[in-house]
Amino acid sequence: MTDPTSPAADISRVTGISDDGTRGTFELDLAGHEARRRAEVLAALGDTWDPVAVMKDEAEAQRLLYSGLDADQQATYAMLVAAGVLPAAGQG
């Protein structure tokens, strides 16, 4: 099996060439590109990246963002939650 991060994993081919050679179908498999992109993202994040801690910090940031609202702001927030624009507290 070919390593999906190697350039050899990028498969492209022309098929269905017409008799006069003027028309054909070009196919490009982007799986190799996607695998390489994901590998680069994980490498950039590094070994110390903790997705659970990131999600906890995001939840805390959202809690702080919507805390201390005055009555009008709270009404607007409730309207946006009801409309599905914002997640309810604890669901974001």
Per-residue pLDDT of 6-23, as tens digits, reads 555 567 777 777 788 788
Question: What is the DSSP secondary-structure string of 38-52?
Answer: HHHHHHHH-TT--HH
Q: Which has more confidence, 89 or 50?
A: 50
pLDDT tens digit sequence for 20-79: 878 888 787 888 889 999 999 999 999 999 999 999 999 899 889 888 999 999 999 999
pLDDT value of position 85: 94
Of 31, 37, 41, nearest to 4 (Cα)? 31
- Taking residue 32's Cβ as centre, other Cβ atoms within 10 Å add up to 19
pTM: 0.47
Torsion of CA 79, 83, 87, 89, to 10 degrees: 30
